[in-house]
């Protein structure tokens, strides 16, 4: 059967033009003609749209940046739309700096420009960036970290920053096969842990999932190392922390995924002089009301932050998934709990996911949320259930060991938090009645992580729902 007729005249001319413009040039370090890269970019664009002008722009996207051809020549030959798309794909030179010195500034400008670009320009850029990421993934599989030495900038972390910035700028295309492949390859290349020497760090403290360390010579770096055998959790936390940081939510700047050969973890910005709210309350219990009000203000601001729901999991979807994995409820119980979750209010606002006074820190001038491995979006009640559980439902020994205070002080924190968060005229008993079931839902995570049933919480959950 013959192929269906199609007017490809514009695309055909663009291919001939690009072949001539790139004639005699090699794809860096590849040994094959450069033209194969823009042709691959066009093939990727074709998986998103059949628009011939976008396909032509993809084929031509490097001629202005890499050859003597100008944007105005492209405009005269192919029209305004193609020329503008090609211009959007061309790096801006910084003439007074070398290529290496200007690299970060040029890439930041490109990320910012792409974030503000129209949809069509993002589709053309997707072809280019995915083609580049495919080449990097192939080379990384063969060469490992030696790969970065062929670039003007040899720091692996800079390349990761660049590609994750591009992914954020192109998130409008989430759901397309090209974008999903792009993100998968970024993770495949850059989520390989960097090997660290633990002797370069000094122990700083213990958490629920592992230990924290400060770098001995670099005061800007801290290390969070999970317990042996936990690999995916720190990687998930790092991925979510990067997204949250990019949104402008106050959290220490995330670094990279690391291992000491036995444990996995992540490096983060160290915040000098910080204290968690839990630590501060334990040290100054007389100021519990003041700290509760400050924490409530942070929570209200977080819960007023709208998020891109294509980039994060819904809290309802998370709880339904965890409910399905939980071995301690019967099928009938799960059905009833699932119905409650589905009926709960919806929202597109930020959810910390593990919100409690140990996961917020402050200095004299800045407040931060930490431990963002469960960040998602949804109604604030899902978050506030964790605050209630932490303040009112733990046993005395756990509260003292984990949060540096007794249960009476934790309860006083809750009593001060409620009017600060909900308003001074709120009925505390009504809030507590409504929020207990959300606290019970947190046991879907607690029981999963500890692999043991918690009858008192399950009874509370069942009694509230049923």
Domain containing residue 141: CATH number: 1.10.3210.10
Note whether residue 4 is domain-resident: no
CB 83 within 8 A of CB 53: no
Q: Which of 7, 51, 66, 181 is catalytic?
A: 66
For position 449, what pLDDT does the model report?
44
Whether residue 459 sits in one domain with residue 329: yes
Q: Which is higher by pLDDT, 189 or 379? A: 379
Q: What do you get for the CA distance between the two ends of the chain, in Å?
A: 64
Do 51 and 74 share a domain, yes or no? yes
Question: What is d(CA 195, CA 257) in angstroms, rounded to the nearest whole number?
Answer: 9
CA gap 266, 260 in Å, rounded: 11
At 136, the pLDDT band (50, 70, 90 cuts) reads very high
pLDDT band at 458 (very low <50, low <70, confident <90, very high): low
The answer to whether the CB of 411 falls within 8 A of the CB of 348 is no
Residues 35 and 184 in one domain: yes
Domain edge (last residue) among 269, 286, 312 = 269
Domain span at residue 307 reads 275-465
Please compute the mean of the pLDDT values over residues 336-343 and round it to a whole number: 90
Q: Is 443 helix (H, G, I), strand (E, B) or coil?
A: helix
Residue 423: what pLDDT? 95
> Among 18-22, 25-29, 103-107, 218-222, which is the least confidently predicted range?
25-29
Would you state the pLDDT for residue 21?
Answer: 93
Tell me how crowded residue 370 is: count the other CB atoms within 10 A of its CB.
22
- For helices 407-422 and 380-392, give the axis angle rounded to 10 degrees: 150
Q: Residue 2 falls within a domain, yes or no?
A: no
Same domain, 402 and 301: yes
Residue 66 appears among annotated catalytic residues: yes
- 383-420 pLDDT tens trace: 999 999 999 988 899 899 889 999 999 999 999 999 99
**Residue 267 buriedness (CB in 10 A; 0-12 / 13-18 / 19+):** buried
Last residue in a domain, options 190, 221, 251: 190
**Long-range contact pairs involving 160-165 (C-beta distance under 8 Å, separation at least 24):** 160/186, 160/190, 160/256, 162/107, 162/111, 163/129, 163/133, 163/190, 164/190, 164/242, 165/107, 165/108, 165/111
Instruction: Answer yes or no: is pLDDT of 308 > 90.
Output: no
Q: Are 95 and 57 members of one domain?
A: yes
Task: State mean pLDDT over 300-329.
Answer: 88
This prediction has a pTM of: 0.64
- Whether the pLDDT of residue 456 is over 50: the answer is no
- The reply to whether 261 and 318 lie within a common domain is no
pLDDT at site 460: 53
Asked whether the beta carbons of 89 and 128 are under 8 A apart, the reply is: yes
Query: Quick check: is 1 in a domain?
Result: no
- Per residue in 17-64, pLDDT (tens digit) is 999 999 988 887 777 899 999 999 999 999 999 999 999 999 999 999
Q: Are residues 117 and 225 both part of a single domain?
A: no
Q: Are residues 168 and 57 in the same domain?
A: yes
**Domain identity same for 186 and 39:** yes
Residue 290 annotated as catalytic: no
Both 81 and 145 in a single domain? Answer: yes
Choosing from 65, 188, 290, 406, the catalytic residue is 65
For residue 215, give the CATH number of its domain: 3.30.200.20
Domain match, 209 and 230 both:
yes
What's the CA gap between 344 and 235, in Å, rounded?
30
Number of domains in the chain: 3
């Amino acid at each position: 059967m013959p192929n269906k007729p199609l007017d490809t005249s514009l695309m055909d001319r663009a291919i001939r033009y690009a072949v001539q413009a790139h004639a005699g040039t090699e794809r860096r370090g590849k040994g094959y003609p450069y033209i194969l890269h823009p042709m691959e970019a066009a093939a990727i664009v074709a998986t998103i749209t059949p628009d011939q002008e976008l396909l032509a722009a993809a084929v031509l996207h490097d001629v202005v940046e890499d050859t003597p051809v100008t944007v105005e020549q492209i405009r005269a030959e192919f029209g305004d739309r193609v020329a503008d798309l090609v211009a959007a794909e061309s790096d801006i030179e910084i003439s007074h700096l070398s290529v290496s010195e200007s690299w970060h500034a040029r890439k930041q400008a490109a990320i910012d420009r792409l974030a503000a670009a129209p949809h069509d320009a993002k589709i053309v850029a997707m072809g280019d960036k995915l083609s580049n990421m495919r080449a990097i993934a192939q080379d990384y599989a063969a060469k490992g970290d030696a790969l970065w030495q062929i670039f003007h900038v040899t720091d692996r972390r800079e390349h990761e920053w660049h590609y994750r910035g591009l992914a954020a700028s192109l998130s409008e295309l989430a759901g397309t096969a090209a974008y999903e492949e792009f993100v998968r390859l970024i993770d495949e290349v850059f989520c390989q842990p960097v090997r660290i020497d633990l002797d370069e760090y000094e122990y700083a403290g213990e958490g629920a999932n592992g230990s924290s360390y400060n770098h001995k010579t670099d005061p800007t770096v801290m290390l969070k190392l999970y317990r042996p055998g936990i690999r995916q959790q720190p990687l998930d936390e790092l991925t979510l922390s990067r997204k949250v940081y990019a949104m402008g939510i106050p959290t220490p700047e995330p670094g990279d995924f690391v291992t000491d050969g036995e444990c996995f973890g992540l490096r983060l910005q160290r915040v000098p002089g910080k204290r968690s709210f839990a630590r501060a309350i334990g040290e100054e219990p007389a100021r519990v009301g003041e700290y509760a009000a400050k924490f409530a203000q942070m929570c209200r601001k977080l819960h007023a932050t709208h998020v891109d729901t294509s980039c994060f999991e819904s809290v309802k979807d998370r709880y339904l998934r965890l409910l399905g994995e939980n071995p301690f409820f019967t099928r009938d119980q799960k059905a009833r709990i699932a119905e409650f979750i589905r009926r709960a209010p919806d929202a597109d606002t930020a959810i910390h996911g593990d919100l409690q006074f140990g996961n917020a820190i402050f200095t004299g001038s800045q407040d931060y949320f930490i431990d963002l491995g469960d960040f998602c979006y949804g109604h604030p009640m899902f978050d506030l259930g964790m605050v209630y559980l932490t303040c009112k439902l733990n046993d005395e020994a756990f509260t003292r060991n984990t949060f540096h205070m007794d249960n009476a002080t934790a309860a006083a924190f809750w009593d001060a938090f409620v009017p600060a968060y909900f308003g001074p005229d709120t009925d505390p008993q009504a809030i507590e009645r409504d929020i207990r079931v959300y606290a019970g839902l947190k046991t879907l995570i607690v029981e999963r992580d500890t692999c043991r049933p918690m009858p008192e919480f399950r009874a509370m959950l069942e009694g509230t729902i049923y």
